[in-house]
Amino acid sequence: MTELDSFRLEARDWLEANCPEAMRHPYRSEADPCWGGRNCKFQSEDQRLWLQRMSQKGWTVPTWPTEFGGGGLNREQNKILKDELARIHARPPLESFGISMLGPALLKFGSEELKKQHLPAIARGEIRWAQGYSEPNAGSDLASLQARADDHGDHFILNGSKVWTSYGDLGDWMFCLVRTNFDASKHQGISFVLFDMATPGVSTRPIKLISGKSPFTETIFKDVRVEKNQVIGEVNQGWTVAKYLLTHEREMIAGSGLLRAGTIPVSKTAIHTLGTENGILHNTMLRGDIAQFEMDIRCLELTIERARDEVKAGVSLGAASSMFKYYGTELNKRRNELLMAIGGSESLVWEGKDSHDGQLPKSWLRSKGNSIEGGTSEIQLNIVAKHILGLPG
């Protein structure tokens, strides 16, 4: 038996013993994921246990170094762990911008002190992070951002505002892009800072989305004190960190809702809902669209696998993440459109137990944001054209 084989058995046994039965189902509603944080209210004791056991094992962040709360797994081991989690349909113990976005940036650009301060708390799900990138006048043109941080010796004083802050009202800390030099060119005067959202002067205002919920805020800074030791990378060099983080954000968005283990194939839903005759789906036009969609999904999966095989562990996919982001989000929108079509009039039901409080129409509406958040589809295509294909202008 190879080392990897024995790792697989070990992982399987451990998961068998430690993953509560109730955590072995895909999410049923938006309320199911556990986001951790200071104000976390666990849905159930099982949810709490699952997070606790996984984080003690280091498996909320399997590939991070053990000294920062990770599992220290290599790529192959991580793949095995993922397989084993998928095998029992285990849901993730923790959803977290700290894990998917800030963590990789901290690991790459953060000082030892910052890593020690923040990474273990992320791994344990103790601190929930919010992303302060976009501003009212800096969306696609992110680098034109104007929130300002003025130098006060050992600290900065921050003024301005951010918008579209996902779960801004629930965040404990924020990673934030601010302008620290107004004279330099727009990419040269940005710094990447971290601060506690409980700091005086930080306030949020909820923004309601078309999907009904309000997990968004405008976030306003009035004379907020930010310690200088909370800068990732050098002052005024934050754009490099910001871009690196975006590649991780894009990879995360590319796969979310689409390639997650436990996602029920669209065709299965269609067979169940519409029925078949001689093995052929009743609605034949829809059948073609579903088949085309399922082909495209498989293509994306294989290409992500190939990209992973092509880069060594830890190396970012760089501009390729833009391609995956574009494909993944456009496909997820198609997936939701197909599910709406399959559901027919039932897919319009907004409330009530049968519809899990309108889970389908709400996630359909929410999916429209996939091709906007983390940089729009058009911006991803611009990046591919410029940085992969080398087209001018």
Partner 1 sequence: MALVLNEEQVMLRDAARNFLQERAPVSHLREIRDSGNLKGFSSEIWTEMADMGWTAILVPEKHGGLEYGYSGLGIVLEECGRTLTPSPLLSTALTAVSALTLTGSPEQCATILPDVVSGELLLALACDESAQHQPERVATEAEVLEHSFVLSGRKTAVVDGHVANTYIVSAWTGNGISLFLVPADAKGVRVERYPVLDISVAAHVTFDQVELAADSLLGKLHGGQVILDQVLDAARIGAAAEMLGIAQEVFARTLEYLKERKQFGVPIGSFQSLQHRAAKLHGEIEMCKSLVLKALQTLDDKPGGDAEISSLTKAKLGVTAHHAATEAIQMHGGIGMTDEFEIGFFLKRCQILETLYGDHHFHLDRFAKIRGY
Ligand X SMILES: Cc1cc2nc3c(=O)[nH]c(=O)nc-3n(C[C@H](O)[C@H](O)[C@H](O)COP(=O)(O)OP(=O)(O)OC[C@H]3O[C@@H](n4cnc5c(N)ncnc54)[C@H](O)[C@@H]3O)c2cc1C
Site of interaction with partner 1 (CB under 8 A): 267, 270-271, 276, 279-281, 287-288, 290-292, 294-296, 298-300, 302-303, 305-306, 309-310, 323, 326-327, 378, 380-382, 384-386, 388-393
Q: Compute the C-alpha angle 164/170/172, nearest 5°.
A: 105
Q: Which is nearer to ligand X, 164 or 195 (CB)?
A: 164
271 interface partner picked from partner 1, ligand X, none, CB below 5 to 8 A per type = partner 1
Partner in contact with 373, chosen from ligand X, partner 1, none, beta carbon below 5 to 8 Å by kind = ligand X
The partner in contact with residue 153, picked from partner 1, ligand X, none with C-beta cut-offs of 5 to 8 angstroms by kind, is none
3-state secondary structure of 3: helix
Q: Which does residue 151 touch among ligand X, partner 1, none (CB within 5 to 8 A, set by kind)?
A: none
Tokens, residue 201: 């002067």
- DSSP codes, 270-331: HHHHH-EETTEES-HHHHHHHHHHHHHHHHHHHHHHHHHHHSPTT---TTHHHHHHHHHHHH
SS3 185: coil
Return contacts of 195-201, CB within 8 angstroms, 24+ apart. 195/158, 195/224, 195/225, 195/226, 195/227, 195/230, 196/172, 197/130, 197/168, 197/171, 197/172, 197/173, 198/172, 199/224, 199/225, 199/226, 200/224, 200/225, 201/158, 201/225
165 binds, among ligand X, partner 1, none (CB under 5 to 8 A by kind): ligand X
CB of 66 to partner 1, least distance (A): 27
- If contact means CB under 5 to 8 A according to the sort of partner, which of ligand X, partner 1, none does residue 323 touch? partner 1
Q: What angle do CA 49, 78, 167 make, to 5 degrees?
A: 55
Q: Which does 131 bind (CB under 5 to 8 A by kind): partner 1, ligand X, none?
A: ligand X
Q: How many residues does the chain have?
A: 393
> Which of 349, 372, 384, 385 forms a contact with ligand X (CB under 6 A)?
372
Bridge pairing between strands 129-132 and 173-179: parallel
Question: Using CB under 6 A, which of 7, 68, 129, 164 touches ligand X?
Answer: 164
Count of C-beta atoms within a 10 Å radius of residue 390: 7
Please, what is the minimum distance in Å from the beta carbon of residue 292 to partner 1?
Answer: 6
Terminal C-alpha separation, the chain: 55
- Using the contact rule CB under 6 A, the part of the chain among 164-172, 231-239, 275-283, 338-346 near ligand X is 164-172
Judge whether 330 and 364 are in contact, CB under 8 Å.
Answer: no
Using alpha carbons only, give the angle 279, 284, 288 rounded to the nearest 5 degrees.
Answer: 100
Closest residue to ligand X, judged by C-beta, is: 139
Least Å distance, CB 163 to ligand X, is: 7
Gap between the Cα atoms of 99 and 86, Å rounded: 19
Among the residue ranges 163-171, 234-242, 302-310, 334-342, the one whose residues contact ligand X (CB under 6 A): 163-171
Part in contact with ligand X (CB under 6 A); list of ranges 51-59, 133-141, 304-312, 329-337? 133-141
Closer of 47 and 96 to ligand X (Cβ): 96
Rank residues 166 and 269 by Cβ distance to ligand X and give the closer one. 166
Q: Which residues bind ligand X (CB under 6 A)?
A: 131-134, 139-140, 162, 164-166, 369, 372-376, 378-379, 382
